[in-house]
Amino acid sequence: MIAVTGAAGKTGQAILAQLVHHEVRVRVLVRRPEQAAVLTSAGAADVVLGDMTDPAALARLLDGASAVYHICPNLHPAEAEVTQAMVTACRAAGAVRLVYHSVLHPQTEAMPHHWAKLRSEELIFQSDVPFTILQPAAYMQNLRAYWPAMTAEGVYRVPYAVTTRIGMVDLRDVAQAAALVLLDSRHTYGIYELATGERHSQVEVAALAAQALGRPVRAEAVDRAQWAAAARRNGLGDGAVDILLRMFEYYERYGFGGNGFVLAALLGRPPATLPTYLAQLAAGG
């Protein structure tokens, strides 16, 4: 039995699909009853309803599990506390390997959500819980949010300079690697960067989208203050807006991306490239 937290999110659902593909029994943690039905129909064998910080819910989740895939919710204001609750639950359960969904370059203090994951990694090292840590790059699937404007208006609007170079990874490759790692205890104590080695400027992303769609798409930088005002109007909290603004500034200044060697070795094939992903997106995938 493999346990998965954050299972109803986009990462969790991708991991569940891969584990189901491997015919593994999966127990998921969700906090809303309607999410239980969705994940059961996606193949989860067992659903625990509860909060990620509740020791009783975590004990139910880990009962009889050989490993847990721990996904902290995106931009959670207390990620280290959430991880500490999971570490404590793993210690109490005994013999559970903790596979932690971190992020590429958690060592980046200028991005608070990355820095929080570094602290979580440290908490895991300091426990005596067997672990594996995966550090994925930004997902190619994030481009879905920009796709309606790219297709309808031919504009790819980003809150950083269009020369900013970013390397993205296909979430399906991340999920496939995660499933392989969960099912093979030889990965215990491994820390793996999951990236492709590509870095594209936003001008190049727009050109690749244009190629995939067969019509023009241009990249355009939007003012970050305007971006923040729109994000707040759409209900994003001040804390999350601040973190994302810092991330955009960091991206613009330094770029962001990793190396594809480890992911290729895990998958036994090269990771998906951005042109391939965009072609699939344009074809409705």
The rounded Cα 180 to chain-centroid distance in angstroms is 16
Q: Are 39 and 7 in contact (CB under 8 A)?
A: yes
Spatial distance between the Cα atoms of 42 and 26, rounded to a whole number of angstroms? 11
Please give the residues from 137 up to 176 whose contact with ligand NAP meets the rule CB under 6 A: 138-139, 142
Q: Does 257 bind ligand NAP (CB under 6 A)?
A: no
Least distance in angstroms from the C-beta of 215 to ligand NAP: 27
Token readout for 22 is 């491997």
Q: Does 134 bind ligand NAP (CB under 6 A)?
A: no
Least distance in angstroms from the C-beta of 242 to ligand NAP: 15
Binding-residue pattern over the window 70 to 109 for ligand NAP, x denoting contact by CB under 6 A: -xxxx--------------------------x-x------
Least distance in angstroms from the C-beta of 238 to ligand NAP: 18
Residue closer to ligand NAP, measured from CB, 44 or 52 = 52
Q: For the residues of 14-66, what is the DSSP string, one character each?
A: HHHHHHHHTT--EEEEESSHHHHHHHHHTT-SEEEES-TT-HHHHHHHHTT-S
Q: Are 102 and 70 in contact (CB under 8 A)?
A: no
Least distance in angstroms from the C-beta of 101 to ligand NAP: 5
233 three-class SS: helix
Q: Exposed, middle or buried, 33 (CB in 10 Å: 0-12/13-18/19+)?
A: exposed
Least distance in angstroms from the C-beta of 47 to ligand NAP: 12
Q: Does 60 bind ligand NAP (CB under 6 A)?
A: no
In terms of phi and psi (left: phi > 0; alpha: psi -120 to 50; beta: otherwise), the region of 214 is left
Residue closer to ligand NAP, measured from CB, 154 or 245 = 245
Spatial distance between the Cα atoms of 74 and 276, rounded to a whole number of angstroms? 26
Least distance in angstroms from the C-beta of 157 to ligand NAP: 18
Binding site for ligand NAP (CB under 6 A): 6, 8-11, 29, 31-32, 51-53, 71-74, 101, 103, 113, 136, 138-139, 142
